[in-house]
C-alpha cells in the first residue's frame, strides 16, 4: 500500500472541467473586434465563428503574416516579393474549435471552389472547337471560372485569419462577437 503524503513540489491535482465558464478564460484578450492570443494558443472548445460548442473538434494551423506595406513590392516585381515574403513574414500557430455548421460551410466552399475551377478547364479548351471570331469567349470564360473557383475556395476555407503577428502574440480577425465578449480587454 502506497503511503500518502503531502509533497509541496507536486503539481496540483485539479480536476479540469471542459465545461468551465468562458468568463474565466485568460489565454487571450479582445482588442476591439480582434482576438489577441499568445503564439501556440489553444482556444476553448467553442466555435471561433459563432461561439457554439465545438464538441472537441480542433482546427490547428500555422499562420503567416506580412506587413501590408510590402505588397507594393509585389506590384513592382512578384518574384522579388515572394523571396521577401519568405524571409520577412511572421509566423505563429493557433488551435481553435469549429462547430459542425461552420465545418460544413468550409468543406462546401472548398468543394465549390474546386468544381468551379475544374469546370474552367474544359470551358477554356472549348475555344479550340469554335469559330475564330468566337474563340476569346470560352477562353476568357474558362480563365475567369478557374480564378473565381480558386478565390471562392481559398476565401471560404479561411478560419483563423491573422490581422497581425508579432514576436509573442497573434491578432485574429473574423471572430464571433459573442466569443470575444468572454475575453478581458487587451492592455498593451
pLDDT tens sequence across 52-61: 999 999 989 9
Q: Is the pLDDT of residue 18 over 80?
A: no
Distance separating alpha carbons of residues 50 and 122, to the nearest angstrom:
39
CA dihedral 71, 73, 75, 76 (to 10 degrees): 180
Q: How far is CA 112 from CA 2, 140, 152, in A?
A: 61, 20, 7
Least confident piece of the model among 20-34, 135-149, 150-164, 172-186:
20-34
**CA–CA separation, 154 vs 141, rounded Å?**
20
Q: How far apart are CA 11 and CA 13, in angstroms?
A: 6
Q: Between the CA of residue 91 and those of 65, 107, 137, 169, what are the distances in Å? A: 7, 25, 42, 10
Mean pLDDT of 20-37: 73
> pLDDT by residue (tens digit) across 113-163?
999 999 999 999 998 898 888 989 999 999 999 999 999 999 999 999 999
Contact by Cβ (8 Å): 141, 13? no
The pTM of the full predicted model, rounded to 2 decimals, is 0.74
Length of the chain as a residue count:
188
Say if residues 43 and 96 touch (Cβ distance below 8 Å): yes
In angstroms, rounded to a whole number, what is the distance separating the alpha carbons of residues 98 and 52?
Answer: 8
Query: Beta strand 58-65 with 169-173: parallel, antiparallel or unpaired?
Result: unpaired
Q: Which residues is 94 bridged to in the sheet?
A: 41, 61
Say if residue 102's pLDDT is above 60: yes
pLDDT at position 36 = 95
Q: Torsions phi, psi of 113, nearest 5? A: -60, -45
Amino acid at each position: 500500500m502506497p503511503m500518502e503524503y503531502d509533497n509541496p513540489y507536486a503539481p496540483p491535482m485539479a480536476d479540469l472541467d471542459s465545461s468551465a465558464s468562458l468568463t474565466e478564460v485568460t489565454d487571450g484578450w479582445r482588442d476591439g473586434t480582434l482576438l489577441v492570443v499568445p503564439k501556440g494558443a489553444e482556444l476553448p472548445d467553442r466555435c471561433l465563428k459563432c461561439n457554439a460548442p465545438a464538441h472537441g473538434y480542433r482546427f490547428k494551423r500555422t499562420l503567416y503574416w506580412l506587413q501590408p506595406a510590402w505588397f507594393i513590392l509585389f506590384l513592382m516585381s512578384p518574384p522579388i516579393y515572394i523571396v521577401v515574403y519568405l524571409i520577412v513574414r511572421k509566423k505563429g500557430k493557433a488551435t481553435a474549435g469549429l462547430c459542425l455548421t461552420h465545418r460544413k460551410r468550409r468543406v462546401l466552399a472548398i468543394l465549390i471552389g474546386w468544381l468551379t475551377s475544374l469546370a474552367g478547364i474544359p470551358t477554356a479548351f472549348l475555344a479550340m472547337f469554335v469559330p475564330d471570331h468566337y474563340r476569346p469567349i470560352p477562353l476568357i470564360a474558362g480563365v475567369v471560372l478557374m480564378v473565381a473557383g480558386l478565390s471562392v475556395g481559398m476565401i471560404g476555407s479561411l478560419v483563423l485569419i491573422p490581422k497581425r503577428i508579432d514576436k509573442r502574440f497573434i491578432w485574429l480577425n473574423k471572430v464571433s462577437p459573442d466569443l470575444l465578449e468572454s475575453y478581458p480587454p487587451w492592455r498593451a
